[in-house]
Structure 1
Amino acid sequence: MKLKTGILLVNLGTPDSPSVPDVRKYLRQFLMDGRVIDINPIGRFFLVNGIIAPFRAPKSAKTYRELWTDRGSPLLFYGEELADLLQKALGEDYVVSLGMRYQNPSIASALEKLNHQAIKKIIVLPLFPQYASATTGSVHQEVMRVVSKWQLMPQLVMIDSYPAHPEMIATFAELGRKYMKEHTFDHFIFTYHGLPQRQLKKADARCLTNGCCDIYSEENRLCYRAQCVETSRQLAKALGLEEKDYSISFQSRLGSDPWIQPYTDATIERLVREGKKNILVFTPSFVADCLETTIEVGEEYKELFEEKGGKHWQMVESLNTHPRWVNTLKDIVLNA
């Protein structure tokens, strides 16, 4: 019998439903991860279970209801479709399984599916183009926790990042050009999920000093901010933009500690003051439409932009199940 290669696709996760109990359950699992809220475990327990989950869940549930469709959570159904398409693209020598870092389908259940196959190797492919300890690092840690209990452990190949993969950049650019043909934009924003500055400094004390993130090299290849800058640089090049034409920013901050800057909301206000009235915005740290793209960028930031005097705000959708995105993942697998 010919042994196959297992492919574990992993995204962040989604509540099982937009109900308050399911959202509270999701928030608790997500925020109790020591790589997400990297503080003393006792402090994290009381913060999450005593403050964040009880008080944030009702508000988040309301937002999830806005996001939810007849097919459920976009992050989940796009993930399932993507896994099926990648399976077809790779062929019978591979077995593709989808897992979520938090909630369902869990990484453990996705790995169990592969464990029941004749697998010689598992390629772990997180659906995060840029590496961060709170995302890719957490996925790798959970995979090792699960697989370490198996009697027979296959070879594991961990993909850490692909911030400037040519096909991925080309896919984002193709999606953006569709809107550029329909409207004239006077500025472009590349907005990424934010992280507390302390998490970057834990990985490298030199980070966020003396423009260290502005040059992408082997030395800082796993620096999240440097990877975001490199993604933006390559995407701007593909779109024919000059440096003055675009801004890089970071969204979704939580709490009072400083996060990576500049913040997206502050960037929007600055651009409107400078007279930028027509903006096309990309979300290159998200490969599937989700709360942070559809609601936060597509609706909340649009409302802020218009309140401040902007005229036309257009968000470019995520890669979702675009054929070139499927080809990107296939190429990553074949070169792993």
Structure 2
Amino acid sequence: MKHFKTGVLLVNLGTPDSPETPDVRKYLREFLMDGRVIDYPFIPRWMLVNLIIAPFRSPKSAKVYKELWTEQGSPLKIYGEKNERQLQEALGNEYVVKLAMRYQSPSIESKLDELKKAGVSRITVIPFFPQYASATTGSVYEEVNRVINTWQTIPEIRMVNNFYAHPLFIKGFVENGRKYLEKEKFDHVIFSYHGVPARQIKKGDHTGNYCKLGSCCNQISKVNQFCYRAQCFETTRLLVKELGLQEGTYTTCFQSRLGREEWIQPYTEQTIKDLAGKGIKKVLAFSPAFVADCLETTIEVGDEYKELFEENGGQHWQLVESLNDSENWINLLKDLVENGQLIASK
């Protein structure tokens, strides 16, 4: 019997083609015009992005990207390309592994086309987002469906929804964090996740009255199983358990707030100020919403929050690196391909 190959599409958020302002502006426009990222009607979204955000934010963002950029390019893309090679080697010749970006290049459409031309019989799509959010995993689903809906013949498609509770995901961050915890004593541990507007979380509540953006996120249930905030808190609980942290010595918070409207709380910036104000001097910071170090981890959490902490009286701020190209991460991806998605722990 002839064996047909399985396609694997790895998808991360994306990165500008260069740290120059025109490329950053192009990236921001594509990213922010996604109706799942800024969920406004098209015309006000177009005006906000093209007349306000992209023109004014692009030069500032370009400066930050230049700090992040390496001789090889964007770290997020470098790690992604290495993951593509690593997973291909781990899975073997029965699989065809391709890396795509939701925004900019290489596009989801171009890589799906390559898988189609390779004659794969099925495709597993793995968005590189541990916790499900409409603006990330949901957007990848939408784009994949848009592309394959134009195909005359459609292979079996399997999409990974999340892996926030996968043992290898937890193990990877625990091992990275322990390297620092074994060297010195920290007064507090921060688990900082990317933020989203509060309205997007409430829109995801199909009951219409369950979500309060508070204690309802304290455990995963049938009602809130797709809630980004609840999944983030569950990731923290699993990390805390494995790290052996005591209650009161850690905080879950959310970064990257944009605009004046309410985003999910507590905010990382305010948390940092509060901790410093209470006399906390040493903080270990995790960013478990990202599997590869990027602008939001290296620059925002690693540099900008360090500066904010020190300005408010803190002495030592240490960022825990992401999974990047680690063995745990590749084994996790391999497991997702071969065994499917792990159901969240109770």
> Where does residue 164 of structure 2 map in the other structure?
163
Tell me if 1:306 matches 2:310. yes
Quote the Cα distance in structure 2 between the aligned partners of 1:272 and 1:266: 10
Equivalent residue letter for 1:278: K
Q: Which moved more, 1:238-247 or 1:26-35?
A: 238-247
2:302 and 2:318 in contact (8 A); partners too = yes
Q: Which residue of 2 aligns with 1:185?
A: 186
Q: Which TM-score applies when normalising by structure 2?
A: 0.96
Separation in 2, partners of 1:39, 1:138: 15
Looking at structure 2, the residues matched to 208 and 326 of structure 1 have their Cα atoms a distance apart, in angstroms, of: 36
Alignment of 1:277-296 (within 5 A): 277-296=281-300
* CA distance, structure 1, for counterparts of residue 156 and residue 249 of structure 2: 45
| Aligned counterparts, 1:1-336, within 5 A | 1-204=2-205, 205=208, 206-209=210-213, 211-336=215-340
Deviations 1:220-241 (A, max 9, x none): 1110000000000000111111
8 Å contact kept, 2:132–2:138: yes
Q: Distance in 1 between matches of 2:298 and 2:335?
A: 28
Structure 1 moving runs of 4+ over 6 Å: none
TM-score (norm 1): 0.98
- Distance in 2 between the 1:36 and 1:117 partners? 32
Q: Distance in 2 between matches of 1:249 and 1:36?
A: 20
Q: Secondary structure at the match of 1:265?
A: helix
CA contact (8 A) 2:33 2:49 kept: yes
Q: 239-248 or 262-271: which moved more?
A: 239-248
Q: How far did 1:300 drift? A: 0.3
Instruction: Count residues in correspondence.
Output: 336
Q: Distance in 2 between matches of 1:142 and 1:279?
A: 39
Task: Note the C-alpha offset of 1:211.
Answer: 1.2
Structure 1 SS opposite 2:157: strand
Would the aligned equivalents of 2:213 and 2:264 in 1 still touch at CA under 8 Å? Answer: no
Give me the whole-angstrom Cα distance separating, in 2, the residues matched to 1:59 and 1:232: 32
Q: Counterpart amino acid of 1:175?
A: N
Q: 1:209 to 1:24 in 2, by over 3 A?
A: closer
Q: In 2, Cα distance between the equivalents of 1:275 and 1:23? A: 39
Secondary structure (helix, strand or coil) at the match of 1:115 reads: helix
Query: Secondary structure of the equivalent of 1:228?
Result: helix
* Distance across 1 between alignment mates of 2:148 and 2:211: 33
Percent identity, aligned pairs only, is 61
Change in CA separation of 1:209 and 1:49 when aligned onto 2, cut-off 3 Å: closer
In the alignment, the residues of structure 1 paired with residue 139 and residue 305 of structure 2 have an alpha-carbon distance, to the nearest angstrom, of 29
Q: Which amino acid aligns with 2:111?
A: A
| Aligned-partner SS, 1:161 | coil
Q: Per-residue deviation at 1:158?
A: 1.1
Q: CA deviation at 1:329?
A: 0.9
Shift of 1:209: 4.7
Gaps of 5+ in 2: 341-346
Task: Point out where structure 1 has 5 or more consecutive residues left out of the alignment.
Answer: none
Compute the displacement of 1:181 (Å): 1.7
Shift of 1:151: 1.3
